[in-house]
Amino acid sequence: MRTVAVVGASLAGLSAARSLRAQGYDGRLVVIGEEFHRPYDRPPLSKEFLAGTLGEADLGLETDDEDLGAEWLLGARAVGLDARDRAVRLADGRELRADGVVIATGAAARTLPGSAGLAGVHTLRTLDDARALRDELARGGRLVVIGGGFIGAEVASTARALGLDVTVVEAAPTPLAGPLGETMGALVSALHADHGVRLLCGVGVKGLGGEKRVDAVLLEDGRTVPADIVVVGVGARPCVEWLAGSGVDLDNGVKCGADGRTSLAGVVAVGDCANWYDPRAGLHRRVEHWTGARERPGAAVTTLLAGGAVEPGVPRPPYFWSDQYGIKIQFAGHAAGADSVTIEEGAAEDRNVLAVYRRSGRPVAVLGMNQPRLFTRLRKQLAA
């Protein structure tokens, strides 16, 4: 293998490039990134960076003395993959032929239909998004967050601490019920009311009010919520349109084996765009977690360098964290499929709990609120 192209220059792409070098690949390495920025860390974008306590230099993922010996094509968008000679086509017409391709193009924030061109309406995915939102939040006013998921909740928390008047609108009856289940989703979402943020649940958004600039969020039940700033946090879609017609199987992102292989030889996929097979569950799961983007490229690169002849290890249970209103929320495993959830340490009213999810008596997931020590112990046991 003489040329490897890593398409995507965020955490998954950088981790793949690092894994290639760490696993002995010494050929040409080209990293292609749509954004102009060097790889940076996204989790602080909704928290410390938005709050102004972390600067852009703090977000960089590379260390000062790091040199992967890679060619970086930044500000270069991949628009196609030719399966025959594994050529990656770029938007500017360039074409890069490679012996191996790592697809790490991530996901993009979903938007609200009809919100394009309306000032004051934001999504939050990239550094540029975060800069724009940070500048607007600094002016204060009324913020309405559409979507009570983790991004929405973190933005609400940060904006509240900055002194804004904040409302969160969630279409489902309970926010976070998908990742955390009903009971714990309700408990974590109660943090909003604790800190003076209004939470409106079970109501969809009909549209946005305002001519050039947003001035309200219109709800399906007829209510109108006045707004100076709106953040749309309604999830992300995998960035795989560029692979249409390439022969790479697509199904909720890039359909992958348990080792990151795709339907094309010499092509693997990692990170938010990759829908890996989970051998424990017997199904494919597209996991949009930071830890997956860091850990999985190692296995995918092993697959790529070995030509696909590897036995994949059993991955660690997925882990993610969220910081809201000064509380450290941590979750590992899969809440779906649990038949019970019990608080084993702390108390719900103190917002300080360790909760274990079980199926047929066996732990399948764990949630911590300000319980990092016990949480890590249980997370380790889940992996055993």
Give whichever of 88 and 332 is closer to another protein, judged by the CB atom.
332
In the complex, the smallest distance separating the C-beta of residue 316 from another protein, rounded to whole angstroms, is 10
Q: Which residues bind another protein (CB under 8 A)?
A: 11, 41, 43, 53-54, 58, 60-64, 290-291, 294, 319, 321, 328, 330, 372-373, 375-376, 379-380
Give whichever of 27 and 52 is closer to another protein, judged by the CB atom.
52
Amino acid (1-letter code) at residue 319: Y
**How far is residue 351 from each of residues 155, 224, 364, 375, measured CA to CA in Å?**
19, 31, 22, 14
- Nearest CA to 370 out of 332, 330, 343 is that of 330
**How far is residue 109 from each of residues 88, 126, 212, 232, measured CA to CA in Å?**
24, 9, 22, 9
Question: d(Cα 21, Cα 26) in Å, to the nearest integer?
Answer: 7
Burial of 172 (0-12, 13-18, 19+ CB in 10 A): middle
Residue in the structure block whose two tokens are 């967050």: 145
Please report the DSSP string for 113-125 in residue order.
Answer: TT-TT-BTEE--S
In the complex, the smallest distance separating the C-beta of residue 373 from another protein, rounded to whole angstroms, is 4
Q: Considering just the CA atoms, what is the radius of gyration of the chain in Å? A: 21
271 Cβ contact partners less than 8 Å away, ≥ 6 residues apart: 8, 10, 11, 12, 13, 104, 105, 106, 292, 293, 296, 297
Give whichever of 15 and 174 is closer to another protein, judged by the CB atom.
15
In the complex, the smallest distance separating the C-beta of residue 4 from another protein, rounded to whole angstroms, is 21
Give whichever of 61 and 172 is closer to another protein, judged by the CB atom.
61
Residue 60 is classified by DSSP as B
In the complex, the smallest distance separating the C-beta of residue 44 from another protein, rounded to whole angstroms, is 8
How many distinct helices (H) and strands (E) make up the chain?
Answer: 8, 26
Give whichever of 15 and 262 is closer to another protein, judged by the CB atom.
15
Count of Cβ atoms closer than 10 Å to residue 75 Cβ? 13
**Can you read off the two tokens belonging to residue 59?**
């977000």
In the complex, the smallest distance separating the C-beta of residue 58 from another protein, rounded to whole angstroms, is 7
In the complex, the smallest distance separating the C-beta of residue 231 from another protein, rounded to whole angstroms, is 23
